Structure 1
Amino acid sequence: MSSIYTPLNPLHSEIRLLVIHPGKDADPIHCSLQHTSLEEPRDFEALSYVWGSEENLKVVSVENFTFEVTINLHAALRRLRKPTESRSIWADAICINQQDIEEKNYQLPLVGRIYTEATNVVVWLGEKKVSTVSELIPQLLIQCRLRECHVHVPPLSCANRYKAFIPVEISTAQATIIVLTGQ
């Protein structure tokens, strides 16, 4: 049986990037995988999201193969897709071969570095539309529980300080952190 995955080279700190091909909102999602080395600078975005339930999976096309993903990842890919140009992201559920224990053991220690090297880190909070900062902060608290930090959010009239918990990998990011929710 063919696979979408080709072996990575651990000696060169290789990872896979998911290239989301352009399309309109209702179009099926088509992607390809590219190998890249963390030793060589390259623009890509790292996606942080909750995997969600593995029931009612959705389908994306990766290397012309049908690939099942959670509803939450599918929604994030749809939201991240651009209408006229490709976008390179790192999403663990696809970029790491989840069926290959040896690969997972090699890739998981690189996760912090992946978030550090990313041009941007995108935090996907799900489809729910958020209209105010006061709605956004509780969602961040629910999704991101691993490390405590302070998030400064200046509302219209005054600056307030919110306490939030964010994943360690996001806290190591040196890039811009982009928070996305439903449209």
Structure 2
Amino acid sequence: MSTVKFEAIVPEAGASKRRSRIGSLLHKLTKPAEEPPYRPLPEYHIRVVDIKPVTTQHLLEVKLTVVDPRKFKYIALSYTWDQDVAGESDASHGLVGATQPILCGGTEVKISQNLYDALCQIRNVSSGVPVFVDALCINFDDNHERTNYLEIMGHIYSRAASVIVWLGKSESYTDEVMLIMRKLVNAIDWRRIGDGSSYNFRDPRFFTMVGIEPLTLKQWREIQAFCHLRWFTRYWAFFELALAKQALFLWGEACMEYNFLIDFGMILSLSGWLDELRQDTIDGVEEPIYGLTKMLGPVARLRSTPPWHPKHKEHASWMTENYQLETEQQHAWKFFEILLQSAEAFDCRDPRDIAYAPLALVRHVFGGQPINKQWPRPDYTRPADEVLRTFSNAVQQHTLQPSILATADETQQYQAQQPPAHVERGRSQRR
């Protein structure tokens, strides 16, 4: 009995096309997804991430859950999208630098190395509490969802049980710097600085009082490096921290409370060490202001003002007494100006965020109402120069100082299709 060859039944041209279709299908099935599978969110709901316990699986595994932030306990993560981690680029996922694959709802997705490190550490310390992580919980390809996120971000971070600030992986000097910081904070009451007490760090007797050996130049450089960690310079971090009911800072496995860092920053600022350290440790090279004090000082002042708490009994009287304001809209605009002035020193890659970030917080503080009917809802499809012109016109109508809006003149070449600073998918620009 003769055998029939397969090639005689299926013409060569048809086989080629079929192999091409099969190959294309296999490629789609095996290619990791760029985004988790998203479904539309009900009104006033958000997604949170459940981080599964350590298993024998090679990949970190998480699951997205839709919740009402008014009724559900969760924590929120504040971090940088790109931590200047060296690694191969993955342009197919919009990521530059080191990346890590994870399983999100059974779908393999890639996230930045810095976020991966943060999730691994949170898994170890959060006792299973779900986490709001913008990179995973928001569908940034959906303009409507992105807009809604900005309008409720104040509620997301203020209603979180805690905001976890991820400063990055620990360094070889982390333990030593943490020990020095604790001893300084325990030994020095910054409220007494300036009343005649001696805090001359060049005097060996000072270190005897603190209980540590005189610091070497190398140790001062390490403290300086900590104060310049990228998170302390990030525009969105300022607002996320200001909204937090309580905040916990993670630097690798090291853990710090908000008040501890405030105390340390106040010691550095009031003692006059910052200027002296800048001269001693970088050989006269001009260095920017320490990120730590640049961040925590304005946040501390902002959190202490009554407008931050709209139900505060002194809210209206405080604004009226200090700024001679009468209407709620005037209060809102003045608070908007305070926010702009507080945040102007931070890195902001996308000029549109100059307007959108503080506006979102003003809406939160003043009951979700827009402060001007002419002011548009956040829309990242609009060119930056157009957004800032609209913003500038609205600001000038309310006699605020528009100096911060000089950025509008510098954005003619800005590419409007760029995502906002807080959705930069790990690009080399800073979030």
Alignment of 1:82-101 (within 5 A): 82=124, 86-101=128-143
Shift of 1:145: 3.1
- The match for 2:73 is 43
Once the two structures are superposed, what CA deviation does each residue of 1:39-97 show, in whole Å capped at 9, x if it has no partner?
32x21110000000622321111100011111110110011113996330001000001
Structure 2 counterpart of 1:105: 147
Are 1:45 and 1:90, in contact at CA under 8 Å, matched by a contact in 2? Answer: yes
Residue 6 of structure 1: aligned partner: 39
The 5 Å alignment of 1:75-154 reads: 75-82=117-124, 86-129=128-171, 130-131=174-175, 132=177, 133=181, 134=223, 138-139=227-228, 142-145=230-233
Letter in 2 for 1:115: Y
Q: 1:166 to 1:59 in 2, by over 3 A?
A: closer
Percent identical across equivalent pairs? 25
If you compute each CA radius of gyration, which structure gives the higher value, 1 or 2? 2
Give the helix-richer structure, 1 or 2: 2
Is the 8 Å Cα contact of residues 125 and 139 (structure 1) preserved in structure 2? no
Matching residue within 244, 248, 269 for 1:173: 244
The worse-fitting range, judged by mean Cα deviation, of 55-64 and 1-10 is 1-10
Runs (4 or more) in structure 1 with deviation over 6 Å come to: none
Unpaired segments of 5 or more residues in structure 1? 148-164
- Offset, 1:16: 0.3
Using structure 1 for the length normalisation, give the TM-score.
Answer: 0.76
Q: Secondary structure at the match of 1:144?
A: helix
Higher RCO, 1 vs 2 (CA within 8 Å, ≥6 residues apart)? 1
Q: Which amino acid aligns with 2:250?
A: L
CA contact (8 A) 2:78 2:237 kept: no
Q: Select the structure that is richer in strand.
A: 1
Which whole-Å deviations, capped at 9, do the CAs of 1:100-132 have from their partners, x for residues lacking one? 121111112211211100001100011133232
Which amino acid in structure 2 is aligned with residue 126 of structure 1? G
Q: Where in structure 2 are the equivalents of 1:68-79 lying within 5 Å? A: 68-79=110-121
Hey, what does 1:23 align to over in structure 2? 54
Change (3 A) 1:94 1:107: same
Moved more, 27-36 or 129-138: 129-138
CA RMSD of aligned residues (A): 2.9
Change (3 A) 1:166 1:93: closer
